[in-house]
Chains A and B, each alone.
Chain A
Amino acid sequence: MPKGRSLVAVLVVVMLAVTALPQLALARDKFTLAISIYAGWMPWYYAKDHGIIKKWAERYKIAIEVVEMDYIPSIEAYVAGKVDAGVMTNMEALDMPARSGVDSTVLIVGDYSNGNDALLVRGIADVQGLKGTEVSLVELSVSHYLLVRALEMHGLKESEVKVVNTSDSDIAPAFIANKSQKAVVTWNPMVMSIEQTPGVSKIFDSSKIPGEILDLLVVNTKVLNEDARFAEALVGAWYEVMSLMSQRGPEADKALTDMAKRSNASLNEYKAQLRTTAMFWTPEAASDYARGTEIKEKMDFVRNFCFKHGLLGENARSVDIVGISYPDGTIQGDSRNVKLRFDTRVMEKAKTGQLRQN
């Protein structure tokens, strides 16, 4: 039928046209940042609530929209190109955007987990005693990484324990209620609530592997290269909150109270979580760490874990498939496929006071 055919033709053309609109590289003024709840990222919530991000965006004559999401969905949105920047750990930055070809730059090294991730057990004396046990954790997350590092450091192989993938939203109440569960690995605030259960002890945590679980602010490299204003505004806002938090006194406490409320914790609980989070309070501290040699060694552990578990792509032939670059120019992995870049230039600007002040 001619009528039917032409209708179909019109539909197909319209649909093709719609899906064919590429992300037009217009001079952009609007950027998005996705954040999720974690002790080390609560400063973003504070910055959003108290207009600090807005203030910094206005200094640079841009608009920044801050979107609150759950952790993994926020990274998925970043990988899909729906947001321009996100908060994530070094492991996720490597195995989600970088390995998916989304060239990402680490703008801020915010902190490392220094006890926020822990292995808790019932009736087991030490890590060696884990042999043959079932361990509940979020498979292929930093908890899995922590377990594998704990096993490696005590001469055990991952095949000697059994990993049970358990969703993070229920991992704590399920472990507390089910006395038959012997081992669990998770992060704060779940760790704190599990620790308080009688009969449960902590036999390993991230303070034994300092610097390996880094919490970062990651931005899409293409967006950064087109327009550095977004990056500078975010870094400026971050270190403003950092300096507020790191001082002692009522102002800092008020800020911490707001952050605690936002994460559904009391001030003391939040402060306790901060104690197990090694924050890089100043741009010097963060920049120095990112420029050091330690970070490369730690990233090497992380990338090897990712490769061995197929996180760099199940067809990946070697751990070098994704290239990681560092401020001094060193590249770990394939230099033709650098997708994760540690970049201290904006942090340096923050250090030397070169970010816009008004």
Chain B
Amino acid sequence: MKHFFRTDAQPSVAARFLLSILLFVLLIASYLTGSYYRHLENPQDNVMPTVSQMLDGVKRSAFERDRNGDLRLWVDTFASACRFGMALGVIFLAIPLGVGMGLFPYVEALFYRFLVFFDKIPALSVLPILFIIFGLDELSKIALILIGVFPTVALEAHLRARAIPQEQLHKAHTLGASEHEIAYRIVLPQIFPKMLDTIRLNLKAAMLLLIAGESLAATVGLGYRIFVVRRYVAMDIIIPYVLWMTVLLFLTDWFIQWVIRTRYAWLDK
């Protein structure tokens, strides 16, 4: 056993590969076993759909038009992506705000406490309030994501901007940089790739809030679809949708990492 816990262990390629898929295999195997036994007892069971049932669910939601003539998966993905994208767009503005807070003491004095407070509000708990104030449309869903993620990103940018050594700012001053040049040509480019990482790590929270908002009031969207088909226990749609969302998030995460790696290769992480 000690052999497995040595810090200088060198697993073979095969061992590494097998171990990395072991947990997936166990999970899928136990699901399939459970599904099999449920189907033995009740052939029409849809609480744990079989793989073929789920594939059929994918076919129906992605390639067959529903009662309203929509290809559900794409319509939902597009709607959710729009909301997510708009929220993300506004969240990017948190970066310059954080930089401003980190560099300009007056700006910090104005925003810091307020953002720290807002950061601590559990976003889901204000969901009903948001819907009452902003109505049931897109605005409240995007606002929910913003309340959850914007303060975090702004505060992180603030921290990183403050971490830039003062000597750099002095040097810039002596070289004739104006205040706003310091912010946007010296500090911001340095911290931007790290901020991309921060945003990447907050994607999960943003997605969670998006789904919560859609489950409350919507006519379309990934979260909406899951909650509506729940009313007739359509796990053969829900599980594929969950997997699809996981894949989308995975791809977005990977894409951001790729952007950092290629465009900001100078960053030694």
The answer to whether the Cβ of A311 comes within 8 Å of any Cβ in the partner chain is yes
A22 touches B40 (CB 8 A): yes
A264 → B minimal CB distance (Å): 17
A139 touches B132 (CB 8 A): no
A165 touches B219 (CB 8 A): yes
The answer to whether the Cβ of B233 comes within 8 Å of any Cβ in the partner chain is yes
Task: Provide a sorted-by-A list of 18 A–B residue pairs whose CB atoms are within 8 angstroms.
Answer: A16-B33, A22-B41, A23-B41, A76-B230, A100-B42, A100-B44, A100-B233, A101-B43, A101-B46, A138-B231, A164-B136, A165-B217, A165-B218, A178-B135, A180-B135, A181-B135, A181-B136, A311-B232
The answer to whether the Cβ of A1 comes within 8 Å of any Cβ in the partner chain is yes
Interface core residue of A19, A162, A173 (most chain B CB under 10 Å): A19
Q: What 0/1 pattern do residues 300 to 314 of A give for CB contact below 8 A with B?
A: 000000001111001
Given A100-B45, A173-B132: A139 in contact with B231 (beta carbons within 8 A):
yes
Q: Which of A54-93 contact B (CB under 8 A)?
A: 72, 76, 79-80
Given A140-B231, A165-B217: A309 in contact with B1 (beta carbons within 8 A):
no
The answer to whether the Cβ of A96 comes within 8 Å of any Cβ in the partner chain is yes
CA distance A165 to B230 in the complex (A): 12
B131 touches A174 (CB 8 A): yes
Given A95-B231, A139-B228: A174 in contact with B43 (beta carbons within 8 A):
no
A20 touches B33 (CB 8 A): yes
Which residues of chain B have C-beta atoms less than 8 A from A80's C-beta? 47
Residue of A nearest to B235 (CB): A100
A167 touches B37 (CB 8 A): no
Q: Which of A274-307 contact B (CB under 8 A)?
A: none
* Contact of A174 (CB < 8 Å), options: B37, B42, B60, B217: B217
Which residues of chain A have C-beta atoms less than 8 A from B233's C-beta? 76, 79, 96, 100
CA distance A103 to B60 in the complex (A): 26
B37 touches A22 (CB 8 A): yes
* Contact of B216 (CB < 8 Å), options: A19, A167, A180, A308: A167
B128 touches A140 (CB 8 A): no
Residue of A nearest to B140 (CB): A174
* Contact of A170 (CB < 8 Å), options: B15, B30, B40, B131: B131
CA distance A237 to B228 in the complex (A): 35
A interface residues (Cβ-Cβ under 8 A, vs B):
1, 3-4, 8, 11-12, 15-16, 19-20, 22-23, 72, 76, 79-80, 95-96, 99-102, 136, 138-141, 159, 162-167, 169-170, 173-174, 177-178, 180-181, 308-311, 314-315
CA distance A341 to B234 in the complex (A): 22
B106 → A minimal CB distance (Å): 37
The answer to whether the Cβ of B201 comes within 8 Å of any Cβ in the partner chain is no
* Contact of B132 (CB < 8 Å), options: A11, A76, A177, A315: A177
Residue of B nearest to A140 (CB): B231
The answer to whether the Cβ of B215 comes within 8 Å of any Cβ in the partner chain is yes
CA distance A248 to B92 in the complex (A): 66
* Contact of B219 (CB < 8 Å), options: A11, A164, A167: A164
Residue of A nearest to B231 (CB): A140
The answer to whether the Cβ of B133 comes within 8 Å of any Cβ in the partner chain is yes
The answer to whether the Cβ of B26 comes within 8 Å of any Cβ in the partner chain is yes
A101 touches B136 (CB 8 A): no
CA distance A96 to B215 in the complex (A): 20
Given A8-B22, A102-B42, A181-B136: A163 in contact with B219 (beta carbons within 8 A):
yes
CA distance A309 to B234 in the complex (A): 13
Which residues of chain B have C-beta atoms less than 8 A from A15's C-beta? 26, 29-30, 33
Interface size class of B (residues with CB under 8 A): 35 or more
B37 touches A19 (CB 8 A): yes
Q: What 0/1 pattern do residues 208 to 232 of B give for CB contact below 8 A with A?
A: 0000000111110000100110111
Q: What 0/1 pattern do residues 2 to 33 of B give for CB contact below 8 A with A?
A: 00100000000001000000100010011001
A100 touches B132 (CB 8 A): no
A317 → B minimal CB distance (Å): 14
CA distance A180 to B140 in the complex (A): 14
* Contact of B228 (CB < 8 Å), options: A99, A140, A169, A315: A140
CA distance A136 to B135 in the complex (A): 12
The answer to whether the Cβ of B269 comes within 8 Å of any Cβ in the partner chain is no
Given A76-B233, A96-B233: A173 in contact with B218 (beta carbons within 8 A):
no
B36 → A minimal CB distance (Å): 9
Which residues of chain B have C-beta atoms less than 8 A from A11's C-beta? 26
A314 touches B219 (CB 8 A): no
Given A23-B41, A101-B44: A136 in contact with B217 (beta carbons within 8 A):
yes
B37 touches A315 (CB 8 A): no
CA distance A177 to B67 in the complex (A): 32
Which residues of chain A have C-beta atoms less than 8 A from B70's C-beta? none
B217 touches A309 (CB 8 A): no
A122 → B minimal CB distance (Å): 14
CA distance A173 to B135 in the complex (A): 11
Which residues of chain A have C-beta atoms less than 8 A from B46's C-beta? 100-101
CA distance A15 to B33 in the complex (A): 9
Interface core residue of A138, A178, A308, A311 (most chain B CB under 10 Å): A178
CA distance A170 to B45 in the complex (A): 32
Given A173-B128, A181-B136, A315-B56: A141 in contact with B231 (beta carbons within 8 A):
yes
* Contact of B217 (CB < 8 Å), options: A3, A23, A100, A167: A167
The answer to whether the Cβ of B34 comes within 8 Å of any Cβ in the partner chain is yes
A1 touches B15 (CB 8 A): yes
Q: Which 10 A-B residue pairings sit nearest by Cβ, starting from the closest?
A: A101-B44, A177-B132, A140-B231, A166-B217, A19-B33, A101-B42, A311-B232, A167-B216, A95-B232, A170-B128
A136 touches B136 (CB 8 A): yes
CA distance A76 to B233 in the complex (A): 7
Interface core residue of B34, B136, B216, B230 (most chain A CB under 10 Å): B136
